[in-house]
Amino acid sequence: MATKTKVLKAKTNQGDDISIYIEKNNHKVEDWNKRGVNQYVINFDLERIGGWGTYYIDTIAKDSKELSERGLCLYGDTYNYASVNGEVMKKAVNLINDFVKANNLRLDKE
């Protein structure tokens, strides 16, 4: 099974370059999750800082309709903020869907 997928290149709403890719979750996952739930993460790496947003692929897939409409905040504080728009999220969701199909995963717990 692939541990890293195709890398998408995009920009944040603030103009920063990001790389988006899926990889195996490095944290211990409970046995009931062996079908795909929490097994893989999607990374939104801001190239200027070498990383940042990491989310379970099943979490993004579950909220894909809403995220594709409004986008996603990757991080934010008083002096820094990074977000992606709905168009970037649509591409990220498509990356997840292609990965799930290619690896015959189920993202539900049942």
- Quick check: pTM over 0.85? no
Give the highest mean pLDDT range of 9-23, 38-52, 60-74: 9-23
User: Cβ distance 46 to 58 under 8 Å?
Assistant: no
Give the Cα separation of 16 and 62 in Å (integer).
Answer: 26
Give the Cα separation of 110 and 106 in Å (integer).
Answer: 9
pLDDT at 84: 93
Look over the chain and give the mean of its residue pLDDT values, rounded to a whole number: 81
Please report, for the chain, the start and end positions of each structural domain, with discontinuous segments joined by +: 8-102
- Pick left, alpha or beta for residue 87 (phi over 0 → left; psi -120 to 50 → alpha; otherwise beta): alpha
